Amino acid sequence: MIGGEKGLIFMFPCPIAEGDIGSLSPNALHWLRQTSHFIVERAKTARHFLKQASHPLTMSGITILEMSDDDQGEMTRFLELTLKGVNIGVLSEAGCPGIADPGASVAAWAHNRNIRVVPFVGPSSIFLALMASGFSGQSFAFHGYLSNKKPELVHQLRQLEASMLKTDQTQIFIETPYRNGFILETLLSCLKENTRLCIACDIGSPNEDIIQQPVSKWRTENSVNYHKRPCIYLIGSTSK
């Protein structure tokens, strides 16, 4: 049973592939459809998702506030509705809010005021990539975006590789889709040939491509075009 005198903060996942509502749990969809107040990254994307999820209210009946650094007072006033018993849902652009996502600040606000935060099961491209990579899931680190300047990027990649070789900790990062060619070229030019690289592309879509192999094989056998396709990059090791 979910409920109480105070409202709740719901962390609602969104599909990472367009229109894939089936990737969300029935419980998440049930409570999503019971919620009328949302904090989101982009209102346009949120409305599109809520329509796809068959929310029973019209868009005019749903209150949506975009996350913004410009007016923290407005955000606080909106969140304080939970003190009056209103439930508020947090929506990411895709995947799970709070994981590589600004929704974490909303959860932190709630904990500081003894307001319950309720997370729901849903797709995360980071975790799905790790699951499929064959790399260690016992110890891993996610680094977000790396530098877009090649000298600094090379330094960062070599640091990640050294950390992985020393600790067996899987190293994970992302890049904007239009820079995939630059990232892959740099990876293959600076990593050791026996280091294993996994690229998980278009996760959850019909075009999903997840390949894990040594850098030496990437250099000679790579024929996949990653241009403008969302990718997760993983550097790791296997026991096989």
- For 138-175, what is each residue's pLDDT tens digit? 999 999 999 999 999 999 999 999 999 999 999 999 99
- For 2-18, what is each residue's pLDDT tens digit? 656 899 999 999 998 88
Residues 6+ apart with CB under 8 A from 212: 132, 133, 134, 135, 196, 197, 198, 234, 238
pLDDT computed for residue 1 by the predictor: 43
Average pLDDT, the chain: 92
| Average pLDDT score over residue span 37-60 | 94
Sheet strand arrangement including 231-236: 140-145, 170-175, 231-236, 196-201, 209-214
| Average pLDDT score over residue span 207-216 | 95
Taking the C-alpha atoms of residue 71 and residue 74, their distance in angstroms, rounded to an integer, is 6
pLDDT computed for residue 57 by the predictor: 96
% of the chain beyond a pLDDT of 90:
79
pLDDT computed for residue 17 by the predictor: 85
- For 65-77, what is each residue's pLDDT tens digit? 998 766 678 889 9
pLDDT band at 19 (very low <50, low <70, confident <90, very high): confident
| Average pLDDT score over residue span 102-125 | 92
